């Protein structure tokens, strides 16, 4: 999923001051979940068989497990009970991010719709990754997905509230997620086919941007990755973020254009250092 700042999925990544393929596993529950999602999407698209591609929340399986618990000194590990403050920060961070505009089908989507989308995104991250905050009220937030959960199945998508997402945003969200993430997934698979950590999202509340919170979120994460010899991957849609990420060792792997908007889509890769 984005830093405004899903990294995407995340963050997507979004913007720095405010910032997701392979076939699904053939288990009955996942096939059923995938069918439900496809039916919701096709009803919106008018297509009988929409493509089976991932969303910030639906993705390919990555081989290789880390089984590592991410510990980031100086940051607060968030739980679902602390979700509201983190969602509020991401909402203001990403309200006018290109990926948010695309996924919510509006140049300036309402705060209520943006909040519903990022609440869902954070529930996915809390279930399958590691979420941290900086600031006394979680003004800065980052979410990481470990190698074993870089991609989330359709079943996981639904368990995190995927059905409710359509009610809170609009039913067209399913088709737009599939379209966006199908594009992002192909780039992701090309440049990170090996086990890696995915910066699912990183964002700073709009009125706290420019105060160094993004750096506070990234520095301990980079130390963790280097200590364990781990690669990492992110996406961003803001050119001003490129230099920022390069300071932390990320390099641009490819630049594309978001489908339907022409907005730039950068994917960046970082190899372990030291």
Nearest to 198 by CA among 247, 246, 146: 146
Residue boundaries of the structural domains of the chain: 28-270
Q: Output DSSP code: residue 15.
A: B
Nearest to 214 by CA among 129, 141, 151, 145: 141
Taking the C-alpha atoms of residue 111 and residue 113, their distance in angstroms, rounded to an integer, is: 6
Quick one: which H or E segment has residue 108? none
Instruction: Give the chain's mean pLDDT.
Output: 78
User: pLDDT tens across 9-51, in order?
Assistant: 333 333 444 443 222 222 333 333 444 344 443 333 333 332 2
> Which CATH number is correct for 28-270, 3.40.50.620, 3.30.230.10, 3.40.630.30, 3.90.79.10?
3.40.630.30
User: pLDDT tens across 231-252, in order?
Assistant: 999 999 989 999 999 999 999 9
User: pLDDT tens across 125-167, in order?
Assistant: 999 999 999 988 999 999 999 999 887 666 677 777 788 888 8
Nearest to 13 by CA among 163, 87, 138, 121: 121
């Amino acid at each position: 999923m984005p830093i405004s700042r899903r990294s995407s999925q995340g963050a997507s990544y979004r913007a720095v001051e405010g910032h997701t393929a392979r076939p699904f596993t053939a288990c009955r529950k996942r096939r059923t979940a995938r069918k439900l999602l496809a039916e919701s999407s096709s009803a919106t698209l008018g297509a009988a068989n929409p493509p089976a591609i991932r969303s910030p929340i639906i993705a390919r399986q990555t081989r290789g497990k880390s089984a590592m618990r991410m510990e980031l000194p100086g940051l607060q590990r968030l739980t679902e009970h602390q979700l509201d403050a983190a969602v509020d920060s991401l909402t203001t961070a990403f309200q006018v991010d290109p990926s948010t505009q695309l996924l919510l089908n509006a140049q300036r989507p309402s705060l209520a719709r943006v909040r519903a989308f990022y609440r869902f995104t954070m529930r996915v991250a809390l279930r399958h990754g590691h979420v941290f905050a900086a600031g006394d009220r979680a003004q800065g937030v980052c979410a990481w997905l470990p190698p074993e959960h870089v991609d989330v199945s359709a079943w996981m998508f639904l368990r995190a509230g995927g059905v409710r997402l359509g009610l809170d945003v609009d039913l067209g969200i399913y088709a737009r997620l599939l379209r966006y993430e199908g594009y992002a997934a192909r780039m992701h698979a090309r440049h990170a086919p090996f086990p890696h950590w995915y910066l699912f999202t990183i964002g700073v509340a709009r009125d706290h941007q420019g105060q160094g919170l993004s750096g506070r979120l990234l520095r301990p994460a980079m130390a963790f990755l280097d200590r364990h010899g781990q690669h990492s991957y992110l996406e961003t849609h803001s050119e001003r973020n490129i230099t920022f990420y390069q300071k932390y060792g990320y390099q641009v792997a490819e630049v594309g254009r978001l489908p339907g908007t022409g907005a730039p889509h950068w994917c960046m890769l970082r190899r372990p250092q030291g």
